[in-house]
Amino acid sequence: MAFDFAWNTQKNQLSDVKGKEREQEREGKIKNYMIDPTRTHLNYDFVKSETGLYQRVKERSEFLKSQGSKVQKNSVVLYSNIITIPKVEAAKMTDDEHKAYFQSCYEYFCDRYGDENVLSAKVHLDETTPHMHLHFMPVNKENGKLQARTVMGPKALREIHDQLPKFLQERGFDVKRASGEKTKMKLDIHEFKAHQDFKRQTEQLREEVQALAEKATKGKEYVMKAKDVRDQLGEQVVEYENLLGKQKEQVEVGQKRLDSLYAELETTEDFVTKEIKSLKGKADQYRSQIQETIDALSNLSLVESFNESAKRQKLSSNLTISPSSFENLKKQAELSVQLQKALQASEREKKQLVDRNKYLESQNDRIPNLLQENRRLAREIEFFKSVLTKLKEALVNQKMIAQDKLDKWIGSFKSRATFEMNGSVEPAFENENEKEGFEWHRETYGAKYEEKSSDMER
């Protein structure tokens, strides 16, 4: 029993050709679930060329333009034809018969429009039914010009519907002219693929919106936490500034104390120097007196033993002085030792103050880093505000949710975030709808959060 000849055609401008080429050559991400990638290597093309379809169309269009054809941006430069063998009939035919059927159709279009104008005839065997994508440029063979309206007008379409089935019959194929009426089973393959793409894009868009909604929720929570961190950092900066002020005051007091100790030390050193000079003078005086006594005794011709004893005591390092002078010298020596210890203690205190000052300076270096971190958090908060604003605009503009409903929804999330942060942040409302959504969530779920909080405390 003869089967209907299945053929449909679609006109294209130059801007449409790249999409047709990607579809034909299986380039990019494959969205058509009917395509079996494991069979794509079985596809073949009757037109052999080193360049792609778009480049062939462009070069041919430029040539025709140079020959006098009017080629503009909106000109129809290509017709995409899909010729299909019904699935039931294809199962009855061999691979060679499939190829002969498509080659006969290719030869018909070459004869009608010229070999040079049939730019592609790609047979696809990786889908549910074998079919051929045949692309030709609508060139009038009589004058060699690009004339889509004349070459592919209603009259030409009727001729192809009449002639091509007869041409195939002459080649031995049991095919007849189709009635021309479309049914759901004979839906234009372009329309069918467009419909399938629209369904997938709608589902993908729905998933993306859901993901954006989840990200928005997390973003809101992150913004609230970022605000809390920013406030805490602000408090820490103030605390560090106060601490730094106190430490600077301590350094100034320590510096004054150190200056005072230096002045006191200089005064003590002057006093000790003067005392040492005074003691040396007194020692010289005692030495002179003793020498005079010895000389006087020598003149009186005292016993030889006394002379010998006096000689041994003559201006030596072991000079004998009176008990009162010895006590005075001892006190002066003790005072000198105490002054020395005071000087050492002063040096230690000075070192401690210097170390303390270095520590305070190192703490002071941290403040610019804290301020920089604070500014970074502020920029992140502004970024998330911008993201949320654009998300709200996108949802409203795409008519996926009404503005008032979206505002109430955001208000309810603010209420939830407030509960989860134990009320540490009081949210601000941009409008009454947000406030209404906030109060609704609090009335509906407030008891649940309070019970949860009570369990955590226990």
Amino acid identity, position 406: L
Q: pLDDT higher for 454 or 375?
A: 375
> Which of 164, 64, 23, 52 is closest to 119 using CA atoms?
52
Q: Find the mean pLDDT for residues 344-366.
A: 78
Asked if residue 451 has pLDDT above 80, the reply is no
Residues of the chain above pLDDT 70, percent = 78
Write down the residue that tokens 């009635």 correspond to: 179
Cα–Cα distance, 293 to 287 (Å, whole number) = 10
pLDDT value of position 73: 85
Q: Is pLDDT above 80 for 420?
A: no
Residue written as token pair 């958090």 = 377
Query: Which segment of 262-266, 305-309, 399-403 scores lowest on mean pLDDT?
Result: 305-309
pLDDT value for 201: 65
User: What is the reported pTM?
Assistant: 0.42
Q: What is the mean pLDDT of residues 317-338?
A: 68
Identify which has the larger pLDDT, 359 or 197: 359
Higher-confidence residue of 81 and 375: namely 81
Greatest mean pLDDT range, 167-181, 225-239, 287-301, 332-346: 167-181
Give residue 204's pLDDT. 72
DSSP 69-118: ----TT---EEEEEEE--HHHHHHS-HHHHHHHHHHHHHHHHHHH-GGGE
Mean pLDDT (the chain) is 79
pLDDT band (50, 70, 90) for residue 406: confident
Does 196 have pLDDT greater than 70? no
pLDDT of residue 183: 38
What is the residue type of 357?
N
- List pLDDT tens digits, range 36-62: 888 889 899 999 988 999 999 999 999
Distance CA 78, CA 193 (A): 19
**Class level of CATH domain 3-186:** alpha beta
Query: Residue 287 — pLDDT band, cuts 50, 70, 90?
Result: low
**Domain locations in the chain as residue ranges:** 3-186, 208-381, 402-453
What does the pLDDT read at residue 318?
A: 46
Q: What is the pLDDT of residue 305?
A: 45
How long, in residues, is the chain? 458
360: burial class by Cβ within 10 Å (0-12, 13-18, 19+)?
middle
Most confident listed range (100-114, 168-182, 229-243, 378-392)? 100-114
Give 291-306 pLDDT, tens digit per residue.
665 565 455 444 444 4
pLDDT band for position 262 (cuts 50, 70, 90): low
Q: Hey, CA dihedral for 54, 57, 63, 68, is it positive or negative?
A: negative
Element (H, E) at 45: strand 44-45
Q: How far apart are CA 411 and CA 289, in angstroms?
A: 108
Which pLDDT tens digit goes with each residue over 209-229? 788 878 878 777 777 777 777
Q: What is the pLDDT of residue 302?
A: 41
pLDDT band at 200 (very low <50, low <70, confident <90, very high): low
Kindly calculate the radius of gyration of the chain based on its CA atoms and give it in whole angstroms.
Answer: 53
Judged by average pLDDT, the poorest of 286-290, 311-315, 449-453 is 311-315
Q: pLDDT tens for residues 111-170?
A: 999 999 999 999 999 888 899 999 999 999 889 899 999 899 999 999 999 999 999 999
Maximum distance among all Cα pairs of the chain, rounded to whole angstroms:
175
Section 277-290 average pLDDT:
68
Q: 256 burial class (0-12, 13-18, 19+ CB within 10 angstroms)?
A: exposed
